[in-house]
Amino acid sequence: MTLLSKMPIAACILTSFGTLLCGSSFAGAVVSQIYNGDLTLRTQAEVDAFGYREVTGNLFIQDDGNGHDDIVQLNGLRHLVSVGGTLSVRKNAALMDVDGLSALISVGEIHVVDNGALTGIDGLRRLTLAGWGLISENGALRNVDGLRGLATVKNLSIRENGALKNVDGLRALSTVEDLSLWGNDALENLDGLASLTAVESLSIVENRALTNLDGLRGLTSVGERLFVSENGAPADVDDLKRLTLLGNVTLGPSGVLTIEAPQKRTLAGASATGRTGKVVLSVKRRAAPGMLRVTRAGEETNIIEWESTPEVEYVLEYSSTMAPESWEYLAVRVGDGGRQSVKHRHAPGTSGFYRLVMLGVGGDGS
C-alpha cells in the first residue's frame, strides 16, 4: 500500500466500492489507507491515532464512559472520506461538534445519537451519499445544517432533539422513502423541506412547538402513509393541496387535513382516526372537482361534505377496512353546483374510510 505524503488540493479517490469521490480537503499529509472490516473508537487517543481515509465496514465512535480520556473532538478523522457500512457517533457526552468529519462524502448509514453536548453537525457538510440517517436524542442540537449536501436518502429519522428549532439543513432534500420527525419539542417549522416532492412514508408526531406544515407545500406524493399527530395546535395541513398521490392518512386528536383532488386523478384510501379531524378521502373513479371533508358532529356522527358539479351523480360509500368487498352504500346525490352534505352515524371510538364515486361524467364514469 502506497503512502502519499502530498496530495493536490483538488483530488479524487477511487474507493474500494467503485465510487469516485472528489473533494478539496485532502491537502497536506494524507495517509492513503483502507481499513477492512468494522472499527470501534472508545477514547480520544484512539480517535487521534485514526489514520484511514476509508472504512469498508462499520465505524463506531462511542466513548467508553469511564471518565478518563473522554472523546471531545474528532480531528483524527479529518481524512476520512468513506464508510461502507454504518458510521455511528453515539453516547459521547463531551463531544460538542463533529468538525473532524469534514472530508466525509459517503456512508451506508449515519447515526448521531445521544451526544448531550453536541450543538451542531456542520462537520457533515460534504456528505452527499447516505442510505439511512438517524439524528436522535442530542439534547443541545440546535440545527441540522450539516446535512445540507443531502439531496436523496432512503430513510431519515430526526427524533427527540429537544433544542432543535428548524430543519433548514434539509433544503436540498427532494426525495426520501421514509421521513420521520418525532418528539422534537422546540421544532417551530418545516421550511427546510421546501424542496421535498415525494416520500413513501411521512411521520410528523409530538413536535410540540410545530403549528403548521407550510414547509411541505411542494410535496406531491405520499406513496404509503401520512401520519400527523400530537403536534402544536392547530395541526393544520391545508398546505398539502398539491398532493396527487396519497396513501393511508392517520390524524391525531387535533388533526386537520384538506387536499384538493385534481380531475382525472385517483387517490388511494385515507383514514381519519381520533376524535376530531377533516380528511380528504379516496375517490374511486373520478376525483371530485372540489374537496371531500369529514368532520365530527358528536361521538357517533360524522358529516361528509363536498362541492358538487351540476348533473353529476355522486355515490358515497364507507368501509372500516378498505377491503374490496367491505364498502357500504351510504347515500346518493345529484350535483347542483353547490355543497352536498351527508351525515353518517357510527359506533363510538371507531375509525374508517369514505370514498366518493362520480357517475355520469363522460361514458360510464369508470
Residue 308 has, within 13 A of its CA and on its CB side, a CA count of: 25
Average pLDDT over residues 184-202: 92
Q: Are 309 and 329 in contact (CB under 8 A)?
A: no
Cα–Cα distance for residue pair 32/52, rounded to 1 Å: 7
Confidence of residue 351 (pLDDT cuts 50, 70, 90): low
Q: Are 247 and 222 in contact (CB under 8 A)?
A: yes
With CA atoms as reference, report the closest residue to 319 among 342, 352, 357. Answer: 352
Best-predicted range by mean pLDDT (64-68, 81-85, 196-200, 225-229): 81-85
Residue 167 has pLDDT above 90, yes or no: yes
Angle at 207 between CA 218 and CA 97, to 5 degrees: 90
- Tens of pLDDT, residue by residue over 11-22, are 344 444 344 344
* From the candidate CATH numbers 3.80.10, 3.30.460, 3.30.160, 1.10.357, the one assigned to the domain spanning 38-300: 3.80.10
- pTM, two decimals, is 0.66
Residue 333 has pLDDT above 50, yes or no: yes
Residue 186 has pLDDT above 60, yes or no: yes
Cα–Cα distance for residue pair 365/363, rounded to 1 Å: 6
Q: Which amino acid, 148?
A: R
Parse the chain into domains and list their residue ranges. Answer: 38-300
Residue 313 has pLDDT above 90, yes or no: no
DSSP-assigned beta bridge partners for residue 333:
314
